[in-house]
Amino acid sequence: MNTDGTPGLRRQTTVRTTARVAAVVLLVVGVVLLVRGISGFAADAQSMAMDGGFGPILSIGAGSFCIVFGLAAAQVGWLRAGTSYVAGETMPVVKDSLTYVTASGPFCRQCGTRNDGDARFCDGCGQSLA
Ligand SMILES: [Zn+2]
């Protein structure tokens, strides 16, 4: 934890903004390179001559790299939104687990699992608790 608070938070926001800008730039550049590379490659294939040499292939490769890094940057830039979504999805499970751990109901006579107070059948083995 930061003792001085805000600077760390501000730096994190800057990193996130930078990552978002980088993601957009990289994705745009990547798509442009990819399209140019593919169209150059197609032109070469049509004329049956490798006029462009390795140019189109390099362009496709560079474009793919840019898109991969752009997606990675996007993941960093939008990580917080993703994390809180995941947290929202997992919290009910955590709550269920907590309820299970702190269950105060009867122990199962067959397997020893502790069940909810209002449970009629064992959570562990299905044995009737009546
Ligand atoms: Zn049981």
Domain boundaries, the chain: 6-77
Indicate whether 48 pLDDT > 80: no
Contact in structure between 63 and 30 (CB atoms under 8 Å)? yes
The span from the CA of 41 to the CA of 51, in Å, is: 9
pLDDT band at 97 (very low <50, low <70, confident <90, very high): low
Mean pLDDT, range 65-70, rounded to an integer: 90
Phi, psi of 107 (to 5 degrees): -80, 145
The span from the CA of 123 to the CA of 114, in Å, is: 8
Please name the residue that has the structure tokens 């150059």.
Answer: 40
The span from the CA of 78 to the CA of 71, in Å, is: 10
Indicate whether 28 pLDDT > 90: yes
**CA-based nearest residue to 75, from 19, 116, 24, 119:** 19
Q: How many angstroms does the Cα of residue 58 sit away from the middle of ligand 1?
A: 63
Q: How many angstroms does the Cα of residue 129 sit away from the middle of ligand 1?
A: 8
Q: How many angstroms does the Cα of residue 104 sit away from the middle of ligand 1?
A: 15
Please report the pLDDT score of residue 2 as a whole number: 46
Q: How many angstroms does the Cα of residue 99 sit away from the middle of ligand 1?
A: 17
pLDDT band at 64 (very low <50, low <70, confident <90, very high): very high
3-state class of 3 per DSSP?
Answer: coil
- Kindly report which listed range (27-36, 44-53, 103-112) carries the lowest average pLDDT score: 44-53
